[in-house]
A = this chain, B = another copy of it.
């Protein structure tokens, strides 16, 4: 089972693709997509969609997890992130996948067993779980890998429930 995790954003979008093979988790690819700032918002959204298609071509996901963000009152940043997030959700739907939308605390819980874990703890656990030689950089890529891990965990739970019915 393979999960694409996404930390959505218009300027920088983090992605991480994790394969679960028996009890092992393998980070097949991860990184960030940066959209050219000289392009319009509409063109940047299009750029994001095409990059998602390109990144997943060799690693077609079975599961997708897109971080659910909370902005409080910072509405200006929220606008761009949510527009990008809409495009990511559309991308998932077009692959026929119903995306999970975990909150950051749910990801921390799945990765660290603690929904309030700090960034260093979370990144350390992601590195450990994926047996990486170094901490994934930048933060958006690490967050996306965390999303992929929680996505696999949620999908495993859903499958167990489906089987036990």
Which residues of A are interface residues toward B (Cβ below 8 A)?
40-43, 45-46, 49, 71-73, 75, 78-79, 82-87, 89-90, 92-94, 98-99, 101
Q: Which residues of B contact A86 (CB under 8 A)?
A: 45, 82-87
From B40, B49, B92, A98 is in contact (CB under 8 Å) with B40
Q: Which residues of B contact A89 (CB under 8 A)?
A: 41-42, 45, 83
Query: Assuming A41-B101, A75-B75, A82-B86, what are 20 further A-B pairs, CB within 8 angstroms?
Result: A41-B89, A42-B90, A42-B93, A42-B98, A43-B93, A45-B86, A45-B93, A46-B90, A46-B94, A72-B75, A73-B75, A75-B78, A78-B78, A82-B82, A82-B83, A83-B85, A86-B86, A86-B87, A87-B87, A90-B90
Contact between chains at A78 and B82 (CB < 8 Å): yes
Contact between chains at A42 and B92 (CB < 8 Å): yes
Copies in the complex: 2
Contact between chains at B85 and A75 (CB < 8 Å): no
> Please, how many angstroms separate the alpha-carbon atoms of A86 and B72 in the complex?
20
* CB of A100 to closest CB in B, whole Å: 10
> Please, how many angstroms separate the alpha-carbon atoms of A99 and B99 in the complex?
28
Q: Which of A86, A94, A98 has the most CB of B within 10 A?
A: A86
In the assembled complex, 26 residue pairs joining A and B whose CB atoms fall closer than 8 Å, in A order, are: A40-B93, A41-B101, A42-B90, A42-B92, A42-B93, A42-B99, A43-B93, A43-B98, A45-B89, A46-B93, A71-B75, A72-B75, A73-B73, A73-B75, A75-B75, A75-B78, A78-B78, A78-B82, A79-B82, A82-B83, A82-B86, A83-B85, A83-B86, A83-B89, A84-B86, A86-B87
